[in-house]
Amino acid sequence: MAACATATRGLQQLLVLSALGFLATSAPQPPNIVLLLMDDMGWGDLGVYGEPSRETPNLDKMALEGMLFPNFYSANPLCSPSRAALLTGRLPIRNGFYTSNGHARNAYTPQEIMGGIPNSEHLLPELLKKAGYTNKIVGKWHLGHRPQFHPLKHGFDEWFGSPNCHFGPYDNKVKPNIPVYRDWEMVGRFYEEFPINLRTGEANLTQLYLQEALDFIKTQHARQSPFFLYWAIDATHAPVYASRPFLGTSHRGRYGDAVREIDDSVGKILSLLQNLGISKNTFVFFTSDNGAALISAPKEGGSNGPFLCGKQTTFEGGMREPAIAWWPGHIAAGQVSHQLGSIMDLFTTSLSVAGLKPPSDRIIDGLDLLPTLLQGHMMDRPIFYYRGNTLMAVTLGQYKAHFWTWTNSWEEFRQGTPGDPDSGTHFDWKGIDFCPGQNVSGVTTHTQEEHTELPLIFHLGRDPGERFPLSFASAEYQDTLSRITQVVQQHQKSLIPGQPQLNVCNQAVMNWAPPGCEKLGKCLTPPESVPEKCSWAH
């Protein structure tokens, strides 16, 4: 791995200098960067990935004009850790966006969680400031809601959006509705000043987020300032919503309405870049934070195509994402790259686009994809699938090894809760099922099954649905196990977990707490005095 990185560093630097024109006597303005991050959008939600309704003409055109990644992954099957990984270039286990409350437990940042992105982490917008960028986030932050975690304290110059998703509505007595901010000022709350009609699905939020993006691009272009736009909208997160002109227009129902409005918005953003004459100086990347939430499907969730399960799992449906890169004049049109990509690569690649190097005082998990984007080069790299504090699986090449399998507990599956526990809304009472209609014996287990001695190994090319594990006795299995074992050992040898930021002692939030923690009724932060068994070290 290290040797590969060293061997390609010179090539990467030359590609960057050449592509950006830095070899000229007078250095031009560095390229603008636009990252379009969707929420719970699945691999199979775009026409270009085979969605049969073909209702995403603008995103399909974006792929036709750029590069499509069929093998692009999140760093976690849940929203907060995934976003922390994108903006730091580091696995959540390193940047602290995980919980140690239990083995392989998912966690995020609801109002009850007091943790957030640590000051010790270097976020992408902070680093881009060194190259003169003006940075804006539009939409969902999800890296902590306390004042010290505010995005404007972590490199962003502007913000219009919310610290959380559009959960609710709440009664504003025990729990208030989620606030919406413009920079430092709270300008309203979801379901109040920013209405969402749960019955009809009507909300104007995507249009507001679109206008924020368009206005920001126009302003920075007039200022001749390089900009970073992080457009992190949440219309495809349950409860899904769309504005009135899009409601009822999709063959896929309300979720499809939301996707159609997103597609239209992306088309308008790209058209503006072209009309302003800055498309050739703007790197754009489209992806999602995790797989589609099948627990909310089919009315409120998307499609993960041929892949197994969905959000909250480390099967392919939970972590393989749609991904499109677009940079006219630099990325040749109509390409498909089978490079294994990660959402963490957007950190390192964006820095490379800006002519910057990643921090050298820590391990950065994201790769610089410019050699792939500009010259079609392929790089060997593993994909690590973490769920909370546990390495669940690893992909190397076309082989994926599961060291642990688990969907969710039998208790959750049988008893059920109202809808998606990450949605904050109340749907029909049903059991929690992360893999509806996809039971694979011995694989989609409701108990945590350990396979560290003999991992379940799948060839994802022949078996993308993870249904037919290789025979333990086969030479193919033995050879793959040997190669993956070396990669895992190297990874674990260098791993220093960050202090967990997402611990909780509240059964109402995470449906689990260590014995004795229930009565605390609040989230734990490092300075608090708590029972030892509830502490951050356990």
Question: Which residues have a Cβ under 8 Å from the Cβ of 96 and sit 6 or more positions away?
Answer: 84, 115, 117, 118, 121, 497, 498, 499, 500, 501, 502
Active-site position among 79, 165, 505, 517: 79
Block residue for tokens 């303005």: 29
Give the closest residue to 60 by CA, choosing from 259, 226, 233, 235: 259
List, as one string, the DSSP characters of 311-347: TTSSSHHHHEE--EEE-TTTSPTTEE----EETTHHH
Structure tokens at 470: 């290789």
User: Residue 519 burial (CB < 10 Å; 0-12/13-18/19+)?
Assistant: exposed
Specify which residues 449 forms β-bridges with: 405
At 33 the three-state DSSP class reads strand
Please tell me what DSSP assigns to residue 500.
Answer: P
Dihedral (CA of 241, 242, 243, 248) sign: negative
> Is 145 assigned a catalytic role?
no
> Is 377 assigned a catalytic role?
no
CA–CA separation, 455 vs 444, rounded Å?
14
Question: Which residues have a Cβ under 8 Å from the Cβ of 157 and sit 6 or more positions away?
Answer: 125, 134, 135, 136
Question: Which residues have a Cβ under 8 Å from the Cβ of 283 and sit 6 or more positions away?
Answer: 31, 32, 33, 34, 325, 326, 327, 330, 350, 353
Please tell me what DSSP assigns to residue 511.
Answer: S
Active-site position among 4, 103, 122, 142: 142
User: Which residues are designated catalytic?
Assistant: 79, 142
